[in-house]
Amino acid sequence: MSATGLVAIGASWGGLRALETVLGALPEDFAAPVVIAQHRQADATDGTLVRLLDARCALTVCEAEDKQELDPGLVLVAPPDYHLLVEPGAVALSVDPPLNYSRPAIDVLFGSVAHAYGERAVGVVLTGANADGALGLAQIAGRGGTAIVQDPETAERREMPEAALWATPEARVLELTQIAPALTGLAGTREESAR
């Protein structure tokens, strides 16, 4: 079994392009489930983000439904205007008040990931213009999980990666194109796991 149980990604301003780059370079048989909190308008309910991502990567990308199971290689994106949380093996949604002016909030997702997956969690903070995700990434690292931050120099907006690095100085700093290979190195592919 892969040592990585779950990959959680947080993104804000510039996130669509960054997510395309990361998800687009993950292999079809990527061995871990992926959950994503991307900031967006509450009424962006037409599914455009998910359709774009799904069309451009080998993995299946869909908007998370409550209690949906986490399967290897399945990418679940937080629906607009909901917080996405995980429990061992499945996701849960909430309409609790926005955190950091955001719903979905990356901190809410990462906090639940740290709790449910401990050292088997990987948290990734991508481009953004606020500090959401910093606290959650520190929680993931604090429970022995792996913290990865997009190099602020290469991020469309550097504030969010910088805040994450301030909170988790030991995080791995990677250029955008290096993130997918690093994730594949951590989680492996299902072919490898079957061996």
Partner 1 sequence: MNGVDEHDEARERIEIDLLLEAIQRRYGYDFRGYALASLRRRLWHRTYGEGLQTLSGLQERVLHDPACMDRLLRDLSINVTEMFRDPSFHRALRERVFPLLRTYPFVRVWNAGCSTGEEIYSLAIALREEGLLDRTRIYATDIDDGALERARSGSFPLDRMQRYTENYQRAGGSDAFSSYYTASGASARFDPALAAGMVFAQHNLVTDGSFNEFQLIVCRNVLIYFGPKLQEEVLGLFGQSMTRRGILALGRKESIRHSTHADEYEPLVESEKIFRRRS
Q: How far apart are CA 136 and CA 142, in angstroms?
A: 10
Coil vs helix vs strand at 89:
coil
51 interacts with partner 1 by CB under 8 A = no
**Residue 39 known to be catalytic:** yes
94 interacts with partner 1 by CB under 8 A = yes
Stretch that binds partner 1, among 1-9, 13-21, 80-88, 146-154 (CB under 8 A): 80-88
Stretch that binds partner 1, among 17-25, 124-132, 141-149, 153-161 (CB under 8 A): 141-149
Q: Least distance from C-beta 81 to partner 1, angstroms?
A: 8
Whether omega for the bond prior to residue 79 falls within 30 degrees of 0, making it cis, is: no
H-run or E-run covering 184: helix 176-187
Sign for the pseudo-dihedral over CA of 45, 48, 53, 54: positive
Which entry of 12, 83, 102, 112 is annotated as an active-site residue?
12
5 interacts with partner 1 by CB under 8 A = no
Give the residue among 55, 52, 84, 88 at the shortest CA–CA distance from 70. 88
Which entry of 39, 83, 102, 107 is annotated as an active-site residue?
39
68 interacts with partner 1 by CB under 8 A = yes
Give the Å distances, CA to CA, from 104 to 10, 12, 36, 169, 193.
Answer: 10, 10, 9, 25, 32
Sign for the pseudo-dihedral over CA of 190, 35, 38, 47: positive
Give the Å distances, CA to CA, from 44 to 47, 61, 80, 186.
Answer: 7, 17, 6, 33
Q: Least distance from C-beta 44 to partner 1, angstroms?
A: 12
Stretch that binds partner 1, among 17-25, 50-58, 60-68, 124-132 (CB under 8 A): 60-68
Q: Least distance from C-beta 142 to partner 1, angstroms?
A: 3
Q: Of these, 57, 59, 86, 174, which contacts partner 1 (CB under 8 A)? A: 86
**Residue 83 known to be catalytic:** no
**Residue 94 known to be catalytic:** no
Give the Å distances, CA to CA, from 133 to 67, 121, 136, 163, 194.
Answer: 23, 14, 5, 8, 33
Binding residues for partner 1 (CB under 8 A): 43, 45, 63-68, 79, 82-83, 85-87, 92-97, 108, 111-112, 115-116, 118-119, 138-139, 141-144
Active site residues: 12, 39, 132
